Amino acid sequence: MKSKALLTAVVIIALMLLPACGGRGDALHIRFNEDFRPDQYNGRTVVIRGYMSTLSPPDGRFIYLMNLPYQSCPFCIPGTNTIVNTVAVYAKSGSRFSFYDGPVEITGTLRVGDYTDDFGYHYPFRIENATVEKLDAAALSDNLRMYGALSRDGVIADIIALAGQVNYNSFFTLYGGTAADVKPIPDARFDDVVRRINAVSRTDYADLIAVVEDFRQFSRAASANIAAGDYPANATPEANTTIVSLFNRLFAWLNRFEI
């Protein structure tokens, strides 16, 4: 499956100045929205909420902060290396960030300039000397509390990993893999995910469970083809259309939790 099939709509980053709140001195509270000119606030302490991108460097020296969890259209304006709907956030000297997939609040110093990072991505400003704080449920809207309840359990990360394995198992021939690389997914893994979702709420996540169950059905069909040695049956245009639809539904659910 081609990665571009999983792209969701890009929201070009702009930031909106919010009032400072208690305990932050003259910190500027900014958000992914509109009407912010970073050159006016170079060197100021800023506070911003968002989600850590899973495509951030694994060593934690810096992170990409995004307005959506598990954003599948990560960084660039098409045809450029300039990041959008993303802020690069650098840890304090000697510190490292640890990945967390729930909503976080970043506090750091806004630095304006032409930056190109280790991966070749370009941006006109970044946040330096930053600290990260997991957002308490009491500080979140009802909608974000719904997401946070699942992210704390780790079930969202497990759903993403499960979907990725379903995809690989189904299309391993297109990735240059062999049948020996395929790790069959037992139904128990899907059962565990559904159980943990229901443990949080048996009513709020019905649409997410429906997506998980459809991934299960797709996985069963792909596994049957692999067991029969009929690998081409998993790499048909129809199968590609189905898996793209499943990922789009999953990311549509995640996109409900934009900050």
* Segment 55-98, tens digit of pLDDT: 899 999 999 999 889 875 555 555 666 666 789 999 999 999 99
Residue 168: Cβ-neighbour burial (10 angstroms; 0-12, 13-18, 19+):
middle
**In this predicted structure, which of 105-109, 161-165, 175-179, 247-251 has the lowest mean pLDDT?**
175-179
Report the alpha-carbon distance of residue 69 to residue 93 in Å, rounded.
27
* Segment 186-198, tens digit of pLDDT: 999 999 999 999 9
User: Which residue range is the domain that position 173 belongs to?
Assistant: 142-257
Over pLDDT 70: what percentage of the chain? Answer: 83
Domain edge (last residue) among 135, 157, 172? 135
* Segment 92-139, tens digit of pLDDT: 999 999 999 899 999 999 999 999 998 888 888 999 999 999 987 677
Residue type, 225: N
Averaged pLDDT for residues 171-197:
91
Q: What pLDDT is recorded for position 75?
A: 57
- 24 with 108, same domain: the answer is yes
Q: Which residue has the tokens 């709509």?
A: 9
Residues in Cβ contact with 257 at an 8 Å cutoff, skipping those fewer than 6 apart: 68, 69, 103, 143, 144, 146, 147
* Helices 155-171, 142-153: inter-axial angle, 10-degree rounding: 70
- 10 with 127, same domain: the answer is yes
For the question of whether the overall pTM of this predicted structure is more than 0.85, the answer is no
Domain edge (last residue) among 135, 167, 192? 135
* CATH number of the domain residue 36 falls in: 2.40.50.140
Strands 45-52 and 15-18: unpaired
Report the alpha-carbon distance of residue 73 to residue 10 in Å, rounded.
7
Helix or strand or coil: residue 67? coil
- 97 with 183, same domain: the answer is no
Q: Are 11 and 67 in contact, with CB atoms under 8 Å apart? A: yes
| Number of domains composing the chain | 2
Helix or strand or coil: residue 158? helix
Domain edge (last residue) among 135, 153, 178? 135
